[in-house]
């Protein structure tokens, strides 16, 4: 599997979208990812990384760009289901405390949607 697929679906509540990334996330897919995350702004976006075996520095940069955009616009996001390999990448690059990460999509929806309505 050389190509990344991005599946867009609604979350369990209004105002939540889930982007499931499937396959390796590399420079080849960064522009597609950026286009998708910029579409249809919603209060909460969850990026499901469960099926991403690895990402390169360009992909990580696009995730960090999305993080910065969310911060600027007051939008919430979470990364969900990152593998140990991806968690190690986040830690080595020293962004593990910066990015919002949850174990599962359900956990991200529960934690962040609950915080948004409080």
Residue 81 lies in a domain: yes
The length of the chain is: 118
Contact (Cβ atoms closer than 8 angstroms) between residue 23 and residue 4: yes
- Name the residue among 90, 103, 69 with its Cα closest to residue 112: 103
Residue 118 lies in a domain: no
What is the residue range of 24's domain? 5-111
Residue 91 lies in a domain: yes
Number of domains present in the structure of the chain: 1
Residue 117 lies in a domain: no
Residue 78 lies in a domain: yes
Q: Which CATH number belongs to the domain containing residue 34 in this structure?
A: 3.30.750.24
Express each pLDDT in 83-103 by its tens digit.
999 999 999 999 999 999 999
Express each pLDDT in 38-78 by its tens digit.
888 789 999 999 999 999 999 999 999 999 999 999 999 99
Helices (H), the chain: 27-38, 57-73, 84-92, 105-108, 114-117
């Amino acid at each position: 599997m050389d190509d990344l697929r991005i599946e867009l679906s609604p979350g369990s509540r209004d105002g939540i979208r889930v982007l499931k990334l499937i396959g390796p996330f590399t420079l080849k897919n960064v522009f597609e990812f950026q286009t998708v995350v910029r579409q249809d702004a919603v209060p909460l976006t969850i990026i499901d990384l469960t099926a991403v075996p690895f990402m390169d520095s360009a992909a990580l940069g696009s995730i960090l760009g999305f993080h910065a955009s969310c911060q600027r616009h007051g939008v919430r996001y979470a990364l969900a289901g990152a593998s140990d390999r991806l968690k190690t990448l986040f830690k080595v690059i020293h962004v593990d405390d910066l990015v919002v990460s949850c174990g599962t999509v359900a956990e991200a929806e529960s934690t962040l949607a609950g915080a948004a309505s409080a």
